[in-house]
Structure 1
Amino acid sequence: MAQQGTIATEHMDGPAAVHAEEAFKLIYAEAFAEPPYNETEDDVAAAFRRFPVQARNGTFRAALARTEDGEPIGMAYGHPLGPDTVWWDELIEPVPDDMRREDGHRTFGLMELAVRGPWRGQGVARRLHTTLLDAVGAERVLLNVHPASKAASAAYRAWGYRKIGEARPRGEGAELHDVMLLDLR
C-alpha cells in the first residue's frame, strides 16, 4: 500500500479486486451517476455483473484509493489487450495495422478510472493511474473517454495521452468516445 497524506492507494490483482467489489461499485455508482455519464442503478448493476468475469482474467489489475479510516474514494482497473481484442474494431476510422497489433503484453486497456466528488482535484486520480501502471509493464495504455467529460480529458492530456480516434463502445445506444493512447516507452 502506497500512502500519501491521509489517502492510501493499493494495487490489486483480480481476486483481491473481487474481494473489494463493493468498494469499486460504490465509487463507480457515485462517479458515473453524474453527467455526462448519467448511469442508472441498472447500468451499475450491469457493469458489476461483468466485473467478476473481467477480474478472472489472469492479467487483470486494479488500484483502489481509501482514506485513512478506510472509506473508498477512487478506483482504476483494466488488463492488457490480447491478440483478439475488439477495442480497435470499435474505432470509427481504422488505424494502421501496426498500431492495432496486440500480443497480450503490448497495450494495457484502462477500463475505468474514477474518483468520488469530494476527493477530486487532490491528485487521487493521478496516484491511482501511477499505482496501476507501475505494476503493468506494457508499452502503452489505451482508453476511451467521454468527450463531454472535460476534466477527465484534460487530465489524460496532461498525463501525456493523445487522441487517436473516436469509437462507439459496445452496448445499445452507446455514445461516441474519444480513444486516447499513452506511450510508456
Structure 2
Amino acid sequence: MPEAITVEPLDGPATSRAEAAFRLVYAEVFAEAPYEESPEAVEATFRRFRSQVRKATFRAALARTVGGEPVGIAYGYPLSAATGWWDRLIAPVPAEVRREDGRRTFGLMEFAVRAPWRRVGVGRRLHKALLVGGNEERVLLNALPDAEAAQAAYRSWGYRKVGQARPWEGAALHDVMLLRLR
C-alpha cells in the first residue's frame, strides 16, 4: 500500500515559504511530455509565482507524503475584472461568459502531481482542498490538448471546454476549460 498523503490548503504567505516544494513538483512534472519545459521556463514560472503569492486572494494546496516529500501542487486566485484571460481565446465567447468581477471565477494557474502518485486520488484531493473556503461560481484553467491524463481528470471532475487560446505569446494552443461550481 502506498504511503499516506496529506493535502494542506495554503494561503499566499504559507505558499511562499513552501516555494521549494512547489518548484520541485512543477519542474519534474512539466519537464515531461507533452510540456517539455526548460529550466528557463521553470524559472519564468517562479518569477510569476513570487508575484502571484502576494495577492490577497491567492490560494494553494500542497500534497505531501507523511514523511514530507512533496507529491502534488495546485494554486491560483479569483480573476479580476481586468483579467486578460478571456482576451487570449481564438474565438470570442459571449460577454456574459467572460464577465469577471474578482469573485466570480477562480483561475487555476498551475496543477501538477508527480508520476508515482498519479491515479490514486491525489489530484482530486488537491483540487478539492484548493476550492475549500472559496465562494466562486466557477473555475477556469488552460490545458494542453495533448495532456491526455490531465484532460481526462478535468473532464471527470466536470470541466468542459469553452474554447482554445494561446495563453501567452508563442504558447502552444491550449484548451480553455470551465467548471461550474454552482
Q: Distance in 2 between matches of 1:50 and 1:111?
A: 10
Q: Which amino acid aligns with 1:181?
A: L
Aligned length: 180
| Residue among 3, 6, 9 paired with 1:8 | 6
User: 1:136 offset after TM fit, Å?
Assistant: 1.5
| 157, 173, 176: which one aligns with 1:176 | 173
Extract unaligned runs of 5+ from structure 2.
Answer: none
SS at match of 1:92: coil
Cα distance in 2, alignment partners of residues 22 and 84 from structure 1? 30
Q: 1:96-119: per-residue Cα shift (whole Å, max 9, x none)?
A: 000111110000000011001111
1:139 alignment partner in structure 2: 137
Question: Counterpart in 2 of 1:37?
Answer: 35
Alignment partner of 1:69 out of 51, 67, 70 = 67
Identity of aligned residues (%): 63
Question: Which residue does 1:114 correspond to in 2?
Answer: 112
Task: Output the CA distance in 2 between the equivalents of 1:49 and 1:164.
Answer: 29
Correspondences of 1:62-101 after superposition (within 5 Å): 62-101=60-99
Distance, in Å, in 1 between the alignment partners of 2:163 and 2:45 is: 24
Task: Return the letter of the residue paired with 1:80.
Answer: P
TM-score by length of 2: 0.97
Task: Report the secondary structure of 1:169's partner residue.
Answer: coil
1:124 and 2:113 matched:
no
Shift of 1:137: 1.3
State the 4+ residue runs in structure 1 displaced beyond 6 angstroms.
none
Query: Residue by residue, what CA displacement relative to the aligned partner does 1:105-151 show, whole Å, maximum 9, x if unpaired?
Result: 00000001100111111110100000001122100000000000001
Give the drift of 1:49: 1.1
CA distance in structure 2 between the aligned counterparts of 1:47 and 1:161, rounded to whole angstroms: 24
Q: Which amino acid aligns with 2:54?
A: R
Structure-2 separation of matches of 1:156 and 1:71: 25
Please state whether the residue corresponding to 2:142 is helix, strand or coil. Answer: strand
RMSD: 0.8
